[in-house]
């Protein structure tokens, strides 16, 4: 990230910029930095001015306590200002919840695209999210960052054997470094339930995309987003999972943002 901007509360945000044309800002999900969405930027830069950034508390960006979802929305406002005062937004996973909230709050956003924002649609899923939030808060309060990461990985459905392998891998230290930001994504998800009333206030076109090989509940949650917003479209990418191939996703986003 070679550029810096300052959010309303004074937090320094690291971002990168490429291309020319209408502005598009890429927003990563939990346990990730701007580098996660960087490959997508190169596939869009021939038609758009693309910005991607490290969300607060991650990578090259700073952080300011106490955290509130409003601060992350203000971060996006600062990025939009850096982009020229208006932008379309793309968010993956919990990053999708953040860009939808930004649009609902009336930021100068043209269009919003999300990929598999993992909202809960039934009571069992909602109870599981509530338990996750409780245990995550406890683990982070006690400084048990590794346990917090494990909780998140279990929430994603990763098998215990894979979790224990991850603990022994070189990448684990980096994951523990990001662990405190799991609370930020948990707050952005606001309990995990699909926020139908909030989504109904989004006044811009929304494209909700899911992978055809992703779990059924993720596809249903994505479709529900499209149905909850006034101007929503649902799309499935055959053969894709939550780890979507940027080469498959980019043309779909370009077509939508170019309208």
Looking at residue 34, what is its pLDDT? 95
Residue 5's beta-bridge partner residues? Answer: 13
Tell me the per-residue pLDDT of 219-239, one tens digit each, with 9 for 90 and over.
999 999 999 999 999 999 999
Tell me the per-residue pLDDT of 132-181, one tens digit each, with 9 for 90 and over.
999 999 999 999 999 999 999 999 988 999 999 999 999 999 999 999 99
Tell me the per-residue pLDDT of 186-207, one tens digit each, with 9 for 90 and over.
999 998 999 999 999 999 999 9
Q: Alpha-carbon distance 148 to 140, whole Å?
A: 6
Q: CA end-to-end span of the chain, whole Å?
A: 29
Tell me the per-residue pLDDT of 55-66, one tens digit each, with 9 for 90 and over.
999 999 999 999
The residue count for the chain: 259
Looking at residue 1, what is its pLDDT? 86
Looking at residue 112, what is its pLDDT? 98
Is the CB of residue 88 less than 8 Å from the CB of residue 109?
Answer: yes
Q: Alpha-carbon distance 72 to 25, whole Å?
A: 14
Tell me the per-residue pLDDT of 12-31, one tens digit each, with 9 for 90 and over.
999 999 999 999 999 999 99
């Amino acid at each position: 990230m070679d550029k810096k901007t300052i959010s309303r509360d004074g937090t320094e945000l690291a971002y990168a910029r490429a291309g020319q044309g209408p502005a598009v800002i890429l927003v990563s999900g939990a346990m990730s930095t701007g580098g996660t969405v960087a490959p997508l930027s190169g596939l869009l830069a021939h038609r758009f001015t693309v910005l991607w950034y490290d969300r607060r508390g991650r990578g090259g960006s700073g952080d300011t306590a106490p955290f509130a979802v409003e601060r992350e929305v203000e971060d996006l406002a600062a990025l939009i200002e850096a982009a020229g005062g208006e932008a379309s937004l793309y968010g993956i996973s919990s990053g999708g919840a953040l860009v939808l909230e930004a649009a609902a709050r009336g930021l100068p956003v043209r269009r919003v695209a999300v990929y598999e924002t993992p909202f809960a649609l039934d009571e069992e899923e909602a109870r599981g999210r509530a338990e996750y939030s409780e245990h995550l808060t406890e683990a982070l309060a006690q400084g048990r960052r590794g346990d917090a990461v494990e909780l998140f990985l279990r929430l994603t459905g990763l098998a215990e054997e894979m979790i224990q392998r991850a603990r022994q891998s070189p990448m684990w230290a980096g994951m523990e470094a990001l662990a405190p930001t799991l609370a930020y994504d948990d707050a952005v998800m606001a309990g995990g339930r699909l926020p139908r009333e909030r989504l109904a206030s989004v006044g811009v076109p929304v494209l909700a995309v899911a992978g055809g090989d992703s779990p059924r509940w993720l596809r249903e949650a994505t479709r529900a987003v499209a149905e909850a917003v006034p101007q929503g479209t649902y799309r499935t990418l055959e053969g894709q999972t939550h780890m979507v191939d940027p080469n498959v996703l980019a043309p779909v986003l370009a077509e939508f943002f170019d309208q």
